[in-house]
Amino acid sequence: MNNILHIDCDAFYASCEELRYPKLKNHPMAVGGLSNKSIITTANYKAREYGIHSAMPVFIAKKLCPNLVIVGVDKKYYKEKSIEVFDIIEKYAKIKEQVSIDEAYLLVEDKENRIKKAKRIQKEVMEKTGIGVSIGISYNKFLAKISSDWNKPLGIKEIKSSDIPHILKDLDISKVHGLGKKSTKKLRNIGIHKIEDLLLLDEEFLKNLFGKQGSYVYHVIRGEDNRKVEISSKRKSIGREFTFKENTLDLRILHSYIDEIAKILESDMNDRDIKAYTLNLKIKTEYFKTHTRSHTQEVPIYKKEDIASISKDLLEKLISNEKFRLLGISLSNLSKNNHTQLSLFD
């Protein structure tokens, strides 16, 4: 039964920015680093017409499209939009497994026509959030994910068991979830470019080439994928860390980093409406030795002053003759401020 839907937001970061700056909709635009040495995170569909894509260096993107507009990444804003989108989508299924900020699997158990359900999801998400989504429908996760990428943007595609394997044969091997850049390069070096070519390789050959992942690839391209749609895992901690430009033991510098991290963590916790009961301090020395200290208390930790104070107390126990090259703070034993169990998907 085709009861798995894969929801994928179309050019998500770029779409979010187009909502803020509507004039960019008809202009090639990308989200990413602002320096020429940085990379593109997401490009809108106008920019993609010039061959611009994610992970491309900015200086190459500008050569391809001199009038490209580049917008800096605003993760806080994108997370807010993500919550809006997936709060709407969640009601359409008994189980939702969110796997990233812009994609999720749904397990649907009712007998409603899947195409109609997909159209309803698309319509409601667009009307209420302004974000377009593409939806893949199939009987397993691998095929549902391939389907959602079939005819973006605003695509809907269903793959049935009777479609396998011929419907996949003309697809490039880069479409196989589980084959990264290094793996696809290995395959191309031996003349494997399409799934049709990949189907000619036996399981033992793929296992020798990629280990256990080879066995996974062998089966999924034949429509066999037993992974279940599961409720998104609960986040166990939230944290930040900094690597210093120069190794140091200067307490003033270390305290300034602690104050900065505490400020960021307070903001992150406020955004998520959460609190913590355990604080973990981590340092890495100039000789790459890692040391940690933890503090747990009955009163919740969520204010920057408390985070900084506890961290500075723990730091005193870690001072040594070796200079520090990294300092990090994380908060665990998380819960919602309304005392319900915390469940984050990012």
CA 141 – CA 7 distance, rounded (Å): 11
CA 222 – CA 195 distance, rounded (Å): 10
103 part of the active site: yes
Q: How many CB atoms lie within 10 A of CB 330?
A: 20
CA 84 – CA 82 distance, rounded (Å): 5
Residue in 156, 157, 155, 173 with CA at minimum distance from that of residue 220: 173
Burial of residue 129, with CB atoms counted within 10 A of its CB: 0-12 exposed, 13-18 middle, 19 or more buried: buried
**Of the residues 18, 103, 158, 266, which is catalytic?**
103
CB-based contacts of 70, cutoff 8 Å, min separation 6 = 29, 30, 31, 32, 34, 40, 58, 61
Beta strands in 56-176 (DSSP E): 69-71, 95-100, 103-107, 133-138, 156-158
Catalytic residues: 103
